Amino acid sequence: MKDLTLGTLIAVFEEIFGRGLFWAMVAAAVVITMAYVYVLIRDRAVSWKKFLWAQLSMPFGAIGAVLFVQRMTHSGFGDIGGPVDVIVMLMVAAAGAVGLAILVYTLESLILRKSRLKF
């Protein structure tokens, strides 16, 4: 693989995850991102309590992403062969951590929205 293009990356990801699962993950990422932007615009402020819960969920997202990718590629920790593999696993972990944090913050804001009762 001499050239690293967007088409090449899409083909590799489709091969790893399967065409249906890959595009379902892309669609889910787009929907969650749009919902997150909506929440940020709607609330006009960051809720630090929700932000804390989102940050506490990050290790679970990192571990889940790494295990998910290893499951899909039929590999394990013993198959990590060099620095590039470690860098890729760290990038996968970071993406999983950030992705779950965004999901948790968004779901908290959409589902557990405080009622605005005035006494």
Interval 72-88: pLDDT, tens: 988 888 888 889 889 99
User: Rounded distance, CA 56 to CA 108, Å?
Assistant: 13
pLDDT class of 115 with cuts at 50, 70, 90? very low
Measured distance CA(119)–CA(117) in Å, rounded: 7
Tens-place pLDDT, residues 22-63: 999 999 999 999 999 999 999 888 888 899 999 999 999 999
CA 102 to CA 23: how far, in whole Å? 19
Q: What tokens does 94 get?
A: 């970071």
- On average, the pLDDT of the chain sits at 89
Give the Cα separation of 50 and 75 in Å (integer).
35
3-state secondary structure 42-56: HHCCCCHHHHHHHHH
